[in-house]
Structure 1
Amino acid sequence: MEITAVGDVVMGSAPESLPPDDGRHLFDAVADRLTGDVVLANLDQALTDRTTSTKCGADSARCYAFRTPPSYAETLGAAGFTVINLANNHSRDFGEAGLRDTRAALTDAGLEHTGMPGQITMQQVGALRVAIVGFSPYGWTQSLLDIPAAQQLVGQAAEEADLVLVTIHAGAEGKDQSHVRPGREIFLGEDRGDPIAFSHAVIDAGADAVLGAGPHVLRGMEWYRGRLIAYSMGNFAGYETLSNDGPAGIGGVLRLRLAPDGTWDAGNLLGTVMVDPGVPEVDPTQQALDLVRSLSRTDFGECGVRLSPAGELQEPTC
């Protein structure tokens, strides 16, 4: 079974910052890479026509509320995505009503979504049942701050499915947050969880891979008990919203191939960049490979993922 994952996606911010043609061409340069049985993204915005943000007041400074019309769910489907993570700090930018609009828009477009409290999302892949479970530090989502509860939910998913994929929005944000260190990460006073402890715990409970987003930069990848943890896939698309300066502009498309029992078969990383005004393209220089290679070795030593010059993930060593 093939799984493809990217990081953070913001398709614009209504009403001023929307791509032309209702975003129909936003993913054109990378759509041929968004293939697989499960194709996952972290949607850092709402899909709603509501104009009042419950997050940012009229006088708010440095507060960001992102939305595009509900029809943009069709853009995600046309690009190749099959499941969208809503466990993040922007899915409720326009309140519970905006979150309901987002979920309805994705469903109407034929897309699965994950990340709500207690939610186990199932996708049928041939004869295999694949569970996708999303987590973030926020109370309107399935919380990654309560690790025992997360283990219980993942254990339930493992009983119901053949393979379990966990997606997380975890860790501090910013161009200086590429490294993963043991312990909790705090950002702007928020507890953003302990990415290492959480990821290890859910694999112990039955997860077959952990796929991360949230820090808005690429992070290293780790092998744990023969399973892959990609702590952050960085920024993928951020039309006139996300910074593409330096490390913030570097992302990737991660492709995994797992056996029916969840064991490793093969995988590769393709580097991408966000070009002005925040559109994803394949990176001709493949900066992501050297970056992930170095971060993985520095942060996880012998358990860090090794990449071939072509971006192939080498066999698990831990």
Structure 2
Amino acid sequence: MPRKPRVDIALVTVGAVGLLLAGCTPASVPPAPSGSRVSSSVPAASSAGGRPSGSVPASSRPATPGTVRLGFAGDVHFAERTAALLADPATAFGPAAAVLSAPDLTMVNLETAIAVGGRPEAKSFTFQAPPSAFAALRAAGVDVVTMANNHAADYGSAGLAQTLAAIRDTGFPVVGIGSDAKAAYAPYYTQVNGVRLAIVAASQVREETLAHFTATDSAPGIANAYSDRLTAAVWAARTRADVVVVYLHWGTEYQSCPNSDQRALADRLVAAGATAVVGSHAHVLQGAGWRPDGSYVAYGLGNYLWWRSFGNTQDDNGVLTLTFTRGRVVSAAFAPARLDERGIAVPVTGAVAQRILGQWDQARQCAGLLATPPG
């Protein structure tokens, strides 16, 4: 499905609420074809995607060679009220699409099995969606997703087989899941505006999926953040890319402060060469900002397209846009949003926006992160 023209939106710059960021250095991937904004070299479980070659939205600012804007949002799935949105995949994300389409490349966590029918696992909550979910994501401006989470195998081995088939058949770029460990931990490589990007994903949530569906040398599943394969993947990606991003499923549900496992893993990934680490799972916004070493972490981005509302901070979310230049995050903006009755993340303004931005800033302080780059 062709990408709709992208719309520039007014993002709240991090300076206004106390958030900016920084990162790393360069390496090597084939050059992008002339005239193409995004070119892709993808791992075993993924396929080429991203912005259509040569298509430059009329409303976008001219691309600056060596600079790229990456957008990140939290958890997405199509269950109960959000299942109805797939009746028309082209409009499923409603007004959220303008925000998602604005960066050069946008990523979310797809927290569902892509399967139809079958038997759910013995869990409190199980989610599935048809392959049209990928059409909805693409139409909304999402370029790559992680499926390394605690709901990717909600429909067991049969559902996992359907999921992998849908990824293959739709050609949508997916990380953190695969037909074996090599595919599940493989980075997604792409080049945007001359910047070589690598994206890796894994789950740190200890529950049935990690216990029974961690990918191995001979079995499909998700990437496990407790495995040394994750840091090895980051090290390897660092030799090929200017920017390495790791998207994680982690944290303690309903807690805005990161737990000790999150902090320790962030340390290991940054040491391995991650430029930025982002994540989701806690159902609330967690802290985002610079570490004293200059790397950037966004611990949790909340529920972005979600099946239920609770009338509290679980409905607050947004899109984080990081701008990378010379392998470092040089600026950031957070566009606050809130779930509506359809489960769509609708951009907010005024008092609601200020409340969410205040919450975002408070969470940053709780995480011990800096509002501006060190030094």
TM-score band, normalised by shorter chain: 0.7 to 0.9
Asked if the contact 1:2/1:37 (under 8 Å) is kept, the reply is yes
Counterparts in 2 of 1:5 and 1:107: CA distance versus 1, 3 Å: farther
* 2:110 pairs with 1:43: yes
Residue of structure 2 equivalent to 1:31 = 97
Question: 224, 248, 251: which one pairs with 1:168?
Answer: 248
Q: Any idea what SS the aligned residue of 2:75 has?
A: strand
Asked if the contact 1:244/1:275 (under 8 Å) is kept, the reply is no
CA distance in 1, matches of 2:199, 2:86: 32
Write the letter of the residue equivalent to 2:347. Answer: V
Residue of structure 1 equivalent to 2:270 = 203
Q: Which runs of 5+ in 2 are unaligned?
A: 1-67, 205-209, 215-220
* 2:238 pairs with 1:158: yes
Counterparts in 2 of 1:82 and 1:107: CA distance versus 1, 3 Å: farther
Write the letter of the residue equivalent to 1:275. Answer: D
Residue of structure 2 equivalent to 1:294 = 362
**Superposed displacement of residue 170, structure 1:** 0.4
* 2:340 pairs with 1:275: yes
Q: Using the TM superposition, name which of 286-295 and 201-210 deviates more.
A: 286-295
Compute the TM-score of the two structures, normalised by the length of structure 1. Answer: 0.82
CA distance in 2, matches of 1:104, 1:257: 34
Q: Any idea what SS the aligned residue of 1:18 has?
A: helix
CA distance in 1, matches of 2:193, 2:334: 25
CA distance in 2, matches of 1:212, 1:100: 25
Q: Any idea what SS the aligned residue of 2:134 has?
A: helix
Question: 211, 216, 228: which one pairs with 2:283?
Answer: 216
* 2:287 pairs with 1:230: no
Residue of structure 1 equivalent to 2:3 = none
Question: 129, 133, 152: which one pairs with 1:72?
Answer: 133
Write the letter of the residue equivalent to 1:162. Answer: D
Q: Any idea what SS the aligned residue of 2:285 has?
A: coil
CA distance in 2, matches of 1:75, 1:125: 23
Asked if the contact 1:199/1:210 (under 8 Å) is kept, the reply is yes
Residue of structure 2 equivalent to 1:104 = 165
- The aligned runs of 1:81-120 (5 Å cut-off) are 81-116=142-177, 117=181, 118-120=185-187
CA distance in 2, matches of 1:150, 1:134: 8
Q: Any idea what SS the aligned residue of 1:229 has?
A: strand
Q: 1:105-131 CA deviation, whole Å, 9 max, x = no partner?
A: 344444211013332111232433311
Structure 1 runs of 4+ with >3 Å offset:
106-110
Asked if the contact 2:86/2:133 (under 8 Å) is kept, the reply is no
CA distance in 2, matches of 1:297, 1:127: 34
RMSD over aligned CA atoms reads: 2.1
Q: Any idea what SS the aligned residue of 1:167 has?
A: strand
Write the letter of the residue equivalent to 1:264. Answer: V
CA distance in 1, matches of 2:297, 2:240: 22
Asked if the contact 2:79/2:127 (under 8 Å) is kept, the reply is yes
CA distance in 1, matches of 2:169, 2:331: 33
Q: Using CA pairs below 8 Å that are at least 6 residues apart, which structure has the higher relative contact order?
A: 2
Counterparts in 2 of 1:130 and 1:256: CA distance versus 1, 3 Å: same
Q: Which runs of 5+ in 1 are unaligned?
A: 184-193, 307-314
Counterparts in 2 of 1:23 and 1:257: CA distance versus 1, 3 Å: same
Asked if the contact 1:218/1:234 (under 8 Å) is kept, the reply is yes
Compute the TM-score of the two structures, normalised by the length of structure 2. Answer: 0.71
CA distance in 2, matches of 1:221, 1:172: 16
- The aligned runs of 1:109-188 (5 Å cut-off) are 109-116=170-177, 117=181, 118-137=185-204, 138=210, 139=214, 140-146=221-227, 148-174=228-254, 177-181=255-259, 183=260
CA distance in 2, matches of 1:126, 1:108: 28
Aligned residues: 283
Q: Using the TM superposition, name which of 44-53 and 288-297 deviates more.
A: 44-53
**Superposed displacement of residue 89, structure 1:** 0.4
Q: 1:215-269 CA deviation, whole Å, 9 max, x = no partner?
A: 111001131221210000001111xx23343111001100000014x21221100
Question: Percent identical across equivalent pairs?
Answer: 28
